[in-house]
Amino acid sequence: MKQSQKLFNHSQWVIPGGVNSPVRAFGSVGGIPLFIQRGRGAQIWDVDGNVYLDYVGSWGPLILGHAHPEVVKAVQRAAEKGLSFGAPTEAELQMASLLVQLVPSMEQVRLVSSGTEATMSAIRVARGFTGRNKIIKFEGCYHGHADSLLVKAGSGALTLGQPSSAGVPEQTVANTLVLEFNNTQNLRETFQREGEHIAAVIIEPVVGNANLICPQDDFLKNLRELCTQYGSVLIFDEVMTGFRVALGGAQALWGIKPDMTTLGKVIGGGLPVGAFGGRRDIMQCVAPLGPVYQAGTLSGNPVAVAAGLATLKLIQAPGFYEKLGATTQALCTGLTQVAVKRGVAFSAQQVGGMFGLYFRTGVPQNYAQALDIDIERFKGFFHAMLAEGVYLAPSAYEAGFVSASHTLADIKKTIAAADVAFAQIV
Ligand SMILES: *Cc1c(COP(=O)(O)O)cnc(C)c1O
């Protein structure tokens, strides 16, 4: 029996579903999850000694690849000085200064330990600031697993066929309005009807949790204008897109200034760091200055912050995002070409270092279209790619990630693998 199988059998006895986050269980592709032993650069090794080119990158954080020597060194140095103090450290100040410099819409920022904490806190602050209760989110956007945001929440929930979750009282989500992404008309009507009750709109400016969906035309610009007109706080959830699509995030690419931003994933470089920040007048509502309570025993943890700082230093190298984008583009173009050659209905697109693969003709523009794919073909493709040594996200509704350590030779290998995989599924 394979070692991964043995470990998974045991895990299922002591951990629900054998995993600590649902999508890891391979539930939507079938088969058993691989237990990973180590990673280096673009590659990971499983406990059975197989090696894979990795396009999951721990679901986004690993923009430099696995175990980058400078990040590992920074972690080791920080760890030797003490693991946690629950008191301010200079490294947190450096991290906050860097974040407000690189994402200028954030005048102040607070560090937390996960993306979920960041979005949950941002919503609370927006409600405290406006004195209003209602929030708007969009179908297919995932903002972590806080109660009020678990409605039509994209990939994880999608993969399990649970559009929301048991254990969330109806009253909790009664103030959450869910609208269609890229539908300005729908948005405008909602604001006209209840604009003065809307505390915040939270959005993934590029959706990365219902495969990948790009904002169309002036959708984000119209959203910005409506929020300004009605005094609602616009929250860009850039936990995935922050430092992934560009140095300044999706807000820099699309030229939109949100009132608040949430970050996570890349800013921890593989360790648990999240952040929420925004306009100074809004952030002044946060305790101890203001009436909105928010806290965390391990917030700004020195080891995690060291990994984040080392990562943020390296991604500022000139040309970093141009190269990352070109590599990711080469992957999408190559995959589409071999799919066409093999007669598979397929499309792909990228923004910076994230990409979407769709078993449909034409890229999706909303959640319904993202769901409208040939799921059986995706499953076949996923397993065929795995057999060829390529580790893709084990779900048809997740974005993929390329790191700076993926070379054009890696991309070529991946496209050759896809040629074989596509041939097997037609
Ligand atoms: C991953 C993600 C979150 C949640 O972050 P966690 O660290 O998993 O809690 C929130 N929002 C977006 C857009 C994400 O991609």
Q: What is the DSSP string of 131-161?
A: T--EEEEETT----S-GGG-BS--HHHHHTT
> Given this model, what pLDDT does residue 163 score?
46
Shared-domain flag, residues 239 and 387: no
pLDDT tens digits, 273-316: 999 999 999 999 999 999 999 999 999 999 999 999 999 999 99
265 noted as active-site residue: yes
Catalytic: 142? yes
Which residue puts its alpha carbon closest to atom 8 of ligand 1? 115
Residue 161 pLDDT greater than 50, yes or no: no
pLDDT of residue 67: 98
108 shares a domain with 250: yes
239 and 139 housed in the same domain:
yes
Q: Choose one of 314, 337, 372: the last residue of a domain.
A: 314
Indicate left, alpha or beta for 41 from its phi (over 0: left) and psi (-120 to 50: alpha): left
Nearest protein CA to atom 15 of ligand 1, as residue: 240
Print the domain residue range for 272: 69-314
Same domain (yes/no): 205, 304:
yes
Q: Which of 264, 279, 314 is the last residue of a domain?
A: 314
Pocket mutation for ligand 1, best pick of 143, 152, 260, 395 (most atoms within 8 Å of C-beta): 143
Do 301 and 164 reside in the same domain of the chain? yes
Q: Is the pLDDT of residue 152 over 80?
A: no
The best mutation among 121, 240, 244, 299 to test binding of ligand 1, ranked by most ligand atoms within 8 Å of the C-beta, falls on 240
Q: How far is the CA of 60 from the centre of ligand 1 (A)?
A: 9
Give the mean model confidence (pLDDT) for residues 98-118: 98
Give catalytic status of residue 237 as yes or no.
yes
Residue whose tokens read 């700082």: 309
* pTM over cut 0.75: yes
Q: Could you tell me if 51 and 36 are in contact, meaning their C-beta atoms sit under 8 angstroms apart?
A: no
Q: What is the pLDDT of residue 154?
A: 65
**Residues 272 and 297 sit within 8 Å (Cβ to Cβ):** no
- Evaluate: CB of 264 within 6 angstroms of ligand 1: yes
Query: Is there a single domain that holds both residue 139 and residue 287?
Result: yes
Can you give the CATH number for the domain in which 261 is found?
Answer: 3.40.640.10
